[in-house]
Amino acid sequence: MSQPSVKVENVWVRFRPYIDRRPTLRRSLATFRHKETQLVEALKGVSFDVQKGEAFGVVGQNGAGKSTLLRVMARTLRPDEGRVVVRGRMSTLLQLGVGFNAQLSGSRNIYLGGLVAGLTKEQVDERYDEIVEYSELGEAIYRPMKTYSSGMFSRLAFAVAMHLDPEILLLDEVLAVGDEGFKQKSKATMHELLGRSGSIVYVSHAVKQLADFCDRAMWLKDGEVVAIGEAGAVVDEYRAFVQHRRKELRAQGLA
Amino acid sequence: MTTATSPTYYVRRFSEYMSELWRRKDFVWFLARGNIKARNASTVLGLAWWVLNPLLLGMVYFFIFGLIFPTQRDIAYLLSGIFVFHFSAQSMSGGANSIIGNSKLLVNIRFPRLILPIAFLLESTFGFLASLVVLYLIVIPFADVVPGPEIVLLLVALPLQIVFNLGLAAATARLAVPFRDITNFIPYLTRVWLYMSPIIWPLAMLEGVSETAQSLFRLNPMFPIIAVYRSALLGYPLAQADLVAMAAWCVAVGILGVSMFIKYEGKMVRYL
């Protein structure tokens, strides 16, 4: 059996209380004195594998730990316990326009985006024409990105990410890129990636699309894995739960 | 997940980190150039600010300390001190901001974080070089000073100060990410540091104080740094002790700041 491209093993991530309040000197002295170790647990022992050639979806409600999980997989956040093993070149599209400078032209941002992701300038040179063509921006590539519509912005971001030759792609809510035509194209590109045994991890609230696109899916709730399995089945289970919850809340509201 | 904490482990990690940085030099260069370009594009005067900024800075200090409260009428002495001081002082706030202001990037993409303060430093080095041009533009006609052969000393002084600034920037960023209070504190610290440095008062003033006070004053790294620069730029006699002290300070602060930063890198995202 071939080795998984991403292996997540018993990952725990704990944040300090008041995650919205940054620790200040005074507060950290206070916690030091009182030894307050009341922690928020964002991920509680999450384990799963992503296989080669597989599109793996992650569903869950707000605050379930999806973004934290993506950060751990992108290895920008070190887990408190457990480990993440990544085999292959990873490209991330977690927030649109990360690494871009809106004051600068699309053209310069292609370089910036490529270099951020770890390419050398020569490697960006080689891919430059393809990226411009793929993004369908035409002459607009020479305009500052602040003049771009959100669709144009995401088209360029996607074009750059897909030309980094990723073997593993982490996507957060960006499948709905651009207009209908571009959507089809981006989907085709992603299938191509899967075809040459790349992997895609896709996090989205658009569960219908997710069920269509992904092979397997995982449902995350309060930092724990509720279900892993065939995407359609997991998504159905998740949707049933959400509907049930909604009914329950409505009933409580009426009572 | 190595548990080894022997010195060789740290040395190896440090050198691996440095070679990864070197591999990413194109990125540093583009980041710095991009910031410069973006800044120029969003101001009316654009490139002229490279000259205007140090010019205004120098004029403000000369107006106050040369004319209003004349503690220092020697404009060459004053400006050389101000520009050199400013180059180091701004690396503190710049280093912290390079991390805090790029939180989106840090959260989403993995790369050696030291790249951000380094890019800022590169940018500010261009600014410093421009300020040296401004220095001569003022000093040659008004103070009758011309650059002499001593100027080759810059080839030593500038790299050393860059290492010093990198250490300062990295240490400030390391501390300011979890403790944002520090960014409020920096301007006051900078001002005290300025008043403690031989810039707005003449060196001769030190002779009036006790020996102990004198040696305490000389613990300020700005003392040897500015002294070496004044030798390079204005032809002041060079004391070897100053050069040695400057080198020691710069290397020590550089290594300390950078190691503090690298050690903390993995935790940074939690506070952004």
In chain B, where are the structural domains located?
Answer: 7-271
Least confident of A133-147, A173-187, B164-178, B255-269: A173-187
Residue predicted with more confidence, A16 or A157: A157
Q: Taking CB atoms and an 8 Å limit, are B109 and A76 in contact across chains?
A: yes
**Which pLDDT does position A32 carry in this prediction?**
55
Q: What is the pLDDT of residue A255?
A: 58
Q: Choose between A234 and B110: higher pLDDT.
A: A234
Residue A95 to residue B35, Cβ atoms within 8 A: no
CATH fold for the domain made of A57-78+88-254: Rossmann fold (3.40.50)
pLDDT at B103: 85
Output b/e per residue, A160-175; b: 16+ Cβ within 10 A.
Answer: bbbbbebbbbbbbebb
> Residue B242: its pLDDT value, please?
94
- Residue in B with minimal Cα distance to A77: B269
Cβ-defined contact of B271 to A22 (cutoff 8 Å): yes
* Amino acid, single-letter form, for residue A8: V
Q: Which has more confidence, B11 or B92?
A: B92
Which comes out higher in pLDDT, residue A181 or B257?
B257
Rounded distance between C-alpha atoms, residue A15 and residue A78, angstroms: 12
Q: Which of B26, B106, B267 to mutate to test the interface with A (most CBs of A within 10 A)?
A: B26
- Which one is predicted more confidently, A254 or A12? A12
What whole-number distance in Å separates Cα of residue A5 and Cα of residue A7? 7
Give the pLDDT score at A17: 56
Could you say which DSSP state residue A21 is in?
A: S
Please check whether residue A88 touches B, CB under 8 A.
no
Q: Is the pLDDT of residue A242 over 60?
A: yes
B3, pLDDT greater than 90? no
- Nearest Cα neighbor of B267 from B121, B106, B115 is B106
Look over chain A and give the mean of its residue pLDDT values, rounded to a whole number.
Answer: 86
Higher pLDDT, B19 or A17: B19
Q: What is the mean pLDDT of residues A76-104?
A: 85
Mutation site, A116, A122, A164, A171, interface B, largest B CB count within 10 A:
A116
Of the candidates A71, A94, A121, the beta carbon closest to that of B26 is on: A121
Q: Strand A199-203 relative to strand A224-230: parallel, antiparallel, unpaired?
A: unpaired
Q: In the structure, what pLDDT confidence band is assigned to residue A141 with cuts at 50, 70 and 90?
A: very high
CB B72 within 8 A of CB B65: yes
DSSP 8-state assignment for residue A39? -
Q: Check CB contact under 8 Å for B108 and A111.
A: no
pLDDT at B192 over 60: yes
- In angstroms, the separation between the Cα of residue B248 and the nearest Cα of chain A is 31
Asked whether the predicted pLDDT for residue A58 surpasses 80, the reply is yes
B120 closest CA partner among B99, B135, B138? B99
Look at B109 and A116 and tell me if their CB atoms are within 8 Å: yes
Higher pLDDT, B35 or B228: B228
Beta bridge partners of A8: A48, A84
The pLDDT of residue A81 is above 60 = yes
* B140 or A99: which leads in pLDDT: B140
**pLDDT band per the 50, 70, 90 thresholds, residue A12:** very high
Residue of A80, A115, A145, A168 for testing the chain B interface, max B β-carbons within 10 Å: A115
pLDDT band at B81 (very low <50, low <70, confident <90, very high): very high
Of B167 and B16, the structure prediction assigns the larger pLDDT to: B167
Q: What pLDDT digit, counting tens, does each position of B4-26 carry?
A: 557 787 788 888 888 889 989 99
Nearest to B235 by CA among B169, B132, B151: B151
- pLDDT over threshold 80, residue A143: yes
Q: Name every residue in B having a CB less than 8 A away from some CB of A.
A: 1, 23-24, 26-27, 30-31, 34-35, 37-38, 41-42, 104-111, 178-181, 266-267, 269-271
pLDDT at B1: 42
Contacts of A28 in chain B (CB under 8 A): 178-179
pLDDT at B156 exceeding the cut of 80: yes
The average pLDDT across B211-235 equals 92
Q: Do B109 and A115 touch (CB under 8 A)?
A: no
Q: What is the pLDDT of residue B185?
A: 92
Residue A176 has pLDDT above 80, yes or no: no
Q: Give the mean model confidence (pLDDT) for residues A153-175.
A: 86
Answer whether B24's CB lies under 8 Å from A112's CB: no
Q: What percent of chain B has pLDDT over 90?
A: 52
Say if residue A37's pLDDT is above 80.
no
Contacts of B41 in chain A (CB under 8 A): 103-104, 144
> Are A84 and A72 within 8 A, CB to CB?
yes
**Residue A71 is nearest to which of B38, B178, B269, comparing CB atoms?**
B269
Q: Provide ipTM, 2 decimals.
A: 0.78
Of A139, A199, A134, A143, the closest CA to residue A171 belongs to: A199
